[in-house]
Structure 1
């Protein structure tokens, strides 16, 4: 009996992490939420194709109307492997960071923005990352 209890205790220690992602408690003033980071490459082909004016127009017409409460835009430099040519492609990028206030409504809006960018600027992909976070304003 004692061996069985010991075996169950040891198994629970090792298997406890298998139950799924852990929920992290937020400190005072923080609330659990979801943050989206969307990365937009600015090259079209091998050259810069999305100018600052193009980007600002896209932001004004596609992103801001879907997230009028606020967002953050960061300049970035990205790279990815072009498997057809076997080379690493580097390009300037924009990263948009948005706190999703209503995850059910906001997730599809993120997808709509990515699709609009790919269509408008002939992009193969737009990187989207969603992650849990503690947020406060």
Structure 2
């Protein structure tokens, strides 16, 4: 787990994401043809215990089963390496990660879907946390 301050921040972010339409982010002033949307980034650690436990194939299956049905319009997956302080064991853990970026119109159901994805990952792969970051964006395709 991250240190206590980061843990509280992560819990606050997850709580805000799970509140759906209760809290809205201000829409940015976008220049055409861009539209105001939300951009979400989810960071998924891949270790289970002290070893790589979530393979590329397992993450592809998770994406197909949990993320794509909730965000069928598209997503981006990037490989990464992250680190966090395990407060239970008192040291820095470094691990491979998957970063998923989603762009969507602000919608309480989509916000709730972010928490559902994180919960599914934590349960399926025995993870302590999934980072969710949501911010307003100007987007055009």
TM-score when scaled to structure 1?
0.81
Q: Indicate how the Cα distance of structure 1 residues 119 and 130 shifts in structure 2: closer, same or farther if over 3 A, else same.
A: same
Q: Indicate how the Cα distance of structure 1 residues 29 and 50 shifts in structure 2: closer, same or farther if over 3 A, else same.
A: same
Give unpaired runs (5+ residues) of structure 1: 1-20
> Deviations along 1:42-72, whole A, 9 cap, x unmatched?
0000000001111111011111111111111
Task: Pick one of 78, 83, 105 that aligns with 1:79.
Answer: 83
Q: Once the 2 structures are TM-superposed, how far is the Cα of residue 102 of structure 1 from its aligned partner?
A: 4.2
Q: Which has the higher contact order (CA 8 A, sep 6+)?
A: 2
Q: CA RMSD in A?
A: 1.4
The number of equivalent residue pairs is: 117
TM-score when scaled to structure 2?
0.78
Q: Which residue does 1:131 correspond to in 2?
A: 135
Query: Where do 4+ consecutive residues of structure 1 move more than 4 Å?
Result: none
Give unpaired runs (5+ residues) of structure 2: 1-24
